[in-house]
Amino acid sequence: MTDYLWDRSGELDEDIQKLEEILAPLAYQPRPLELPATAQPGRRRNLYPVLAIAAAVALAALALGIWLNINRDASGVPQKAEATITAAVEKKDSPEIVDLPLKPNEDPKAGSHPNPRPVHRGTSPVRNQLALNRRHDRKTLEPQTEMSAAAALEAEAGKEQLLLALRLASSKLSLAVKRAQGGYPANLIRNQHKVG
Amino acid sequence: MKLLISQSWKYASLALLLLVGLSATAKAQSGRLELAQLDALSSRASQTVEVNIDERLMQLTARFLSGKDDDERKIKELVNGLKGIYVKSFEFEHEGDYTAADIESIRSQLRNPGWSRIVNVNSKKEGSVEVYLMTIGARVEGLAVLATDPKEVTIVNIIGPVDLDKLTELEGQFGVPELGIEKSKPKSKN
């Protein structure tokens, strides 16, 4: 082994010289980089973040829509006038729901009927009169009358529910206050919401 | 393509997380309790009372309340500004028909910041009554009353600036006597 192959010093072998001559055209020759005319460096944009953000926004909008829909359904109150008011009180031993159709000539705004007519069925307790599910025969009324009657009917049912809720809230609050203040007649206040 | 999908999922997850967080925060700050979990109790209860009045129905009802009648005027003043009243009450035949776990979902909501318990009365025999208020600054945003006894669970949730004194004063009014009478005749109204 000569040092020629290491650092080009020392004696040169003929075979190596021939090989060098043969391979010389393939040796590295420094020259500037030539890009093809069609290549346009810097023009290509990364669209991934934009597409990802768009997808995220679309998903968020979808989720928002679902959430709003669920939230609206969970409110439990009909959104349209023709929808029925849910029953306020139910009892297992008399589970029937009383229907009170509105008569065409009945004016719900009239003050002479602040509360719905009680309907007794079998041995249902009086408090089950609150279990009302009213339907309105829309075909028998003019549109204008129909709208106001439905609204009045809904308001009337809402008033019943409101009174029931306020009674309950008031009785429980009073119970809390009285018990917090000491001696109280617990049996007198308990289950007061059954009344009416 | 894989990069696109992974990036999309990352951004979508973040957006959803943000959305859920915002909605949960908004709901928690609104004074509205999620009561739907209690519906499971209705199958075991002998009597169920449920009232759902949202802001729209509240406003509609308030419009139909007479300003001339004293009782109705009081109600009108009380509900003015309220955004909803939700009540669920369950009565059971036997003790033990419901457990504390059944109402834990409500209690956990009431443990959230914003709610503060102003009254808590406990009795083994008579059960407990807890009154919670949600306040933002000095403004009352909601009221919750959780009353439980061995055979009854009642939750009242009022959303909005409720006047506790006026609400407490309502007891025994509107033709409903304070004592337990099964039927009462409503006052005649103009």
Query: Tens of pLDDT along chain B (190 residues)?
Result: 666 667 667 776 776 677 666 665 555 567 889 898 899 899 999 999 999 998 888 888 888 887 777 778 888 888 888 889 999 999 999 888 999 899 999 999 999 888 999 989 888 777 899 999 998 887 888 999 999 998 999 999 999 988 888 887 776 555 444 434 333 344 444 4
Q: How far apart are CA A141 and CA A124, in angstroms?
A: 32
The residues near B86 (Cβ < 8 Å, ≥ 6 apart) are A76, A165, B32, B33, B35, B51, B52, B53, B156, B157, B158, B159
Residue type, A84: T
- Tell the residue number behind the tokens 């990036």, with chain if given: B7
β-bridge pairing A132-133 and A98-99:
parallel
Nearest CA among A168, A171, A66, A123 for reference residue B50: A168
CB A172 within 8 A of CB B148: no
Integer Cα distance of B135 and B159 in angstroms:
11
Cβ distance A167 to B156 less than 8 Å, yes or no, reads no
Cα gap B189→B69, rounded to integer Å: 7
Residues in chain A closer than 8 A to B60 (CB atoms): 151, 154-155, 158
Please check whether residue B61 touches A, CB under 8 A: yes
A-chain residues within 8 Å CB-CB of B64?
A: 109, 152, 155-156, 159
Residues of B in contact with A156 (CB under 8 A): 64
Write down the ipTM of this complex: 0.71
Are A91 and B52 within 8 A, CB to CB? no
- pTM listed for this prediction: 0.53
Instruction: Give yes or no for a contact between B179 and A188, defined as CB atoms under 8 angstroms apart.
Output: yes
DSSP for B123-172? ETTTEEEEEEEEEETTEEEEEEEEEEETTEEEEEEEES---HHHHHHTTT
DSSP 3-state of A166: helix
Rounded distance between C-alpha atoms, residue B156 and residue A184, angstroms: 21
